[in-house]
């Protein structure tokens, strides 16, 4: 299959070609591998491939799921493919090969996806751009001097460049939505517990959720249909029911939209990001929706509580990683700032964590109360357009690290705290031809509403044909 033909189809379209026997799954896999060869060099998006294993899967295990034969990439974090390393951008993990698939990967396979590689992540997902000692820096296909976002930046760059029509991502504070915004993609963060977290348990007490970055809305909805559902290995499960694919073509009705460009906890928002929201408001009003200014009033101590919670969770993660690696971890295993975070987390007591969690419940209450008044809340996805690689400091203090987070991606984490679904939608590009995403959030378990709105916006202002300078066609 020619790359110029391959890139015309979303995942649903490729699956339909397979179903009609117009293309074979192995042919699609060969084409995806050719796409890696064609564009991955300047991007550094795909950090590992396992073509032989993917071909074996096609021959021996491929099911007739909704995406039968469609090539797919896993973010190199949390989602384990048996026998293949899950490296997390961290040198000590390079040789760790999980014996079993994680539950999410089992569901991807059941859906018929042909997984053939892994995408770049920041080292242990704790940097605000996608770079690591293990794999270096990942670049944005719209401008290789700019970030692809964090922490699903490798997946975002691969999907935007056409290597695959969709790929795995996860989101603990914006890591689906942020790279979707940077790379001009659709990025849905589902409700807490909607998809199984991997490999088991409730990562970050359910704040981290699993899904994908896609070029089309219908792919995101159909994949969520295929993977969502109760999983006994976690504390949090979203309500069962609903067919999200059916929502994409449904009229969302006349929505009440609360609009904010005031970033949580005082960050300055770039004029390009404000302009993208203003442009979206005009589009929404032309579609009959009601838009009103609205800022969520958050507790003053909410950010400090989030920091405390994440530091404790991160130190916990590293305690568990020592068991995986099979030896105690030391400062030599980490960049200095990450070691500082681990040391700080180890000083936090159980009481400190419970106090922080109680305060985060107040944040969740403030966020969720917005949906008593509005159907959806609109904001920028990011406080700034995609930044140059050099804007991200190589070495900084732990305090500087978190201050940079707030200056760059302050709008996203609050919807991880309250568990709401939230999506970044690629409706705007700035004068530098860089994508500027806008974020919509809805009440917990209201993905159907967001998919209805996203489908309407995609029809009104299509984005699928916009191609970055680094693309397979």
| Catalytic positions | 75, 151, 175
Q: Cα(390)–Cα(388) distance, rounded to whole angstroms?
A: 5
Q: Give whole-number Cα distances, 390 to 68, 269, 349, 381, 414, in Å.
A: 41, 20, 36, 21, 27
H-helix or E-strand containing 439? strand 435-442
Q: What angle do CA 182, 185, 190 make, to 5 degrees?
A: 105
The closest of 417, 401, 466 to 123, measured between CA atoms, is: 401
H-helix or E-strand containing 241? none
> What's the token pair of residue 135?
């794999």
Q: Cα(18)–Cα(63) distance, rounded to whole angstroms?
A: 12
- End-to-end CA separation in angstroms for the chain: 13
> What's the token pair of residue 248?
């994409």
Q: Give whole-number Cα distances, 124 to 44, 259, 266, 426, in Å.
A: 17, 34, 27, 27
Q: How does DSSP classify residue 361?
A: H
DSSP secondary structure string for all residues of 387-407: PBGGGS-SS--HHHHHHHHHH
The alpha helices in 287-440, defined as continuous H runs, are 302-325, 336-346, 350-373, 398-408, 414-418
Question: How many residues make up the chain in this entry?
Answer: 473
Nearest-10 Cα torsion for 462, 464, 469, 473 = -140
Cβ-contact 129, 155 below 8 angstroms: no
- Parallel, antiparallel, or unpaired: how do β-strands 376-380 and 290-293 relate? unpaired
């Amino acid at each position: 299959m020619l790359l110029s033909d391959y890139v015309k189809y979303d995942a649903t379209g490729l699956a339909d070609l397979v179903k009609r026997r117009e293309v074979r799954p192995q042919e699609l896999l060969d084409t995806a591998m050719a796409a890696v060869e064609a564009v991955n060099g300047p991007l550094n998006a795909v950090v590992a491939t396992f073509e032989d294993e993917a071909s074996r899967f096609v021959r021996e295990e491929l099911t007739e799921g909704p995406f039968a034969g469609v090539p797919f990439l896993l973010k190199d974090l949390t989602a384990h493919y048996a026998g293949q390393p899950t490296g997390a951008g961290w040198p000590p993990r390079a040789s760790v090969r999980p014996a079993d698939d994680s539950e999410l990967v089992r569901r991807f396979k059941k859906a018929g996806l042909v997984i053939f590689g892994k995408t770049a992540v920041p080292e242990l997902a704790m940097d605000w751009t996608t770079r690591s000692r293990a794999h270096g820096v990942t670049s944005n296909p719209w401008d290789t001097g700019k970030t692809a976002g964090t922490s699903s930046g490798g997946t975002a760059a691969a999907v935007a460049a056409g290597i695959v029509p969709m790929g795995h991502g996860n989101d603990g504070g914006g890591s689906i939505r942020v790279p979707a915004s940077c790379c001009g993609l659709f990025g849905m963060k589902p409700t807490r517990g909607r998809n199984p977290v991997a490999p088991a348990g409730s990562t970050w007490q359910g704040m981290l959720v699993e899904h994908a970055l896609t070029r089309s809305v219908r792919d995101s909805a159909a994949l969520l249909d295929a993977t969502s559902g109760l999983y006994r290995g976690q504390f949090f499960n979203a309500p069962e029911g609903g067919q999200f694919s059916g929502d994409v073509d449904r009229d969302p009705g006349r929505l009440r939209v609360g609009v904010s460009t005031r970033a949580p906890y005082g960050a300055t928002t770039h004029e390009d990001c404000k302009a993208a929201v203003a442009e979206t408001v005009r589009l929404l009003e032309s579609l009959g929706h009601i838009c009103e200014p609205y800022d969520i009033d958050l507790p003053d101590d909410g950010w400090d509580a989030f920091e405390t919670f994440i530091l404790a969770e991160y130190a916990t993660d590293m305690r568990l990683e020592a068991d995986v690696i099979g030896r105690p971890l030391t400062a030599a295993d980490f960049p200095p700032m990450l070691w500082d975070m681990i040391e700080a987390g180890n000083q936090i007591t159980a009481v400190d964590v419970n106090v922080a969690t109680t305060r985060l419940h107040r944040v969740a209450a403030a966020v969720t109360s917005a949906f008593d008044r509005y159907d959806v809340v609109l904001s920028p996805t990011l406080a700034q357009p995609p930044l140059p690689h050099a804007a991200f400091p190589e070495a900084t203090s732990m305090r500087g690290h978190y201050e940079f987070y707030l200056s760059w991606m302050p709008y996203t984490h609050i919807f991880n705290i309250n568990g709401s679904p939230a999506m970044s939608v690629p409706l705007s590009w700035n004068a530098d031809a860089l994508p500027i995403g806008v974020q919509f959030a809805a009440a917990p378990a209201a993905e159907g509403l967001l998919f209805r709105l996203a489908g309407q916006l995609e029809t009104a202002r299509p984005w699928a044909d916009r191609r970055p300078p680094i693309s397979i066609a």
